[in-house]
Amino acid sequence: MGCLLNQYILLDIGNTNIKYAEVFDGQIILQKFIHTNEYRDVISNEVLSKYEYLFISSVVPEIDEYFKNLGFNTYFVSHDNITNIDVKIPNPKELGSDLIVNASAARALTNSRNLIIDLGTALTFCHVDEIGNYLGCLIFPGNKIASESLSSNTSQLSYVEMNQYDLLIGTNTEEAIGAGLFKGYVHLINGFIEEFKNNYKDINVVGSGKGIKQFQDYINLDFYDEDLTIKGLNLFAQSILNK
C-alpha cells in the first residue's frame, strides 16, 4: 500500500447506514452513504490499493470482523481511546462509539457543557460537562422506527415517511400520522432541551446528523453540524496517527 499517514478512510457504521469518508492531508474530501446490509460493497479494490489506514466507529459488531480482515491498519473507536472525553457511566462498554465520537467533536467545537442530539435509527441525547466528562444519555426510537411500528402493528394505518408536517391537526390518515410524528418529535426534543437548560444554564445544545436536519427550524439548537460524527472520527484518526 505504501501511502502517507495523512491519507486514510473513515467509516461510521450504523444500524441503517454506513457513512464513508476519504481524508487527504487532514481534510475530508469525499463522503457517501451505503446501506449497512451492503457493507461488503463499501470499500472498492481501488481504495484498498490507495489507502493504508482505516478508522471505524461501529454499532454493528457482527460485521466488524469483515473490516478487520481487509488488510488495512484498522482502528476502532472505544470508550478508552478517545482522548478528550472521560466516560463516567458505570459500564463504559455499553456506550456506542457513535455517541463517543459525537461527544468528542462537540467538545472540540464548543469546549463547554454540551447536550448532543442525534437522530438516526435512534434519537439520542448525550450530556457532557465542561471538562469532558460523559455523564449519560437518553435513547428513544427514531421517527422511522416509530412510523414502521405503527404501520406493522395496525391493520388500517400505513407507513408515512417523515416530512415537515407543520399542522396542528391532520384531516386525513396520512396527515394525522405525519403531523403526529413530526410535531411529536419536535415537542419531545424541545421538552428535553428546556429541561436541560433549566438545570444547566451554561449548556450548549448541539444537533448532529441528517435526521435532525429536518427539525432544525423547529427545535432550539445552539449549533448544528450534519457531519459531527465523521468530524469526531477524524479527530480520533489524527490522535492515533500523531502519537
Catalytic residue numbers, as ranges: 98
DSSP 13: E
Tell me the HSE value of 118 on the side-chain side, using a 13 A CA sphere.
Answer: 28
Helix, strand, coil % over all residues of the chain, rounded to 5: 40, 25, 35
- β-pairing, 133-141 vs 86-87, is parallel
Name the β-bridge partners of 57: 12
Grid coordinates given for 157: 394505518
Instruction: Give Cα separations from 191 to 27, 116, 118, 204, 205 (angstroms).
Output: 36, 14, 15, 15, 13
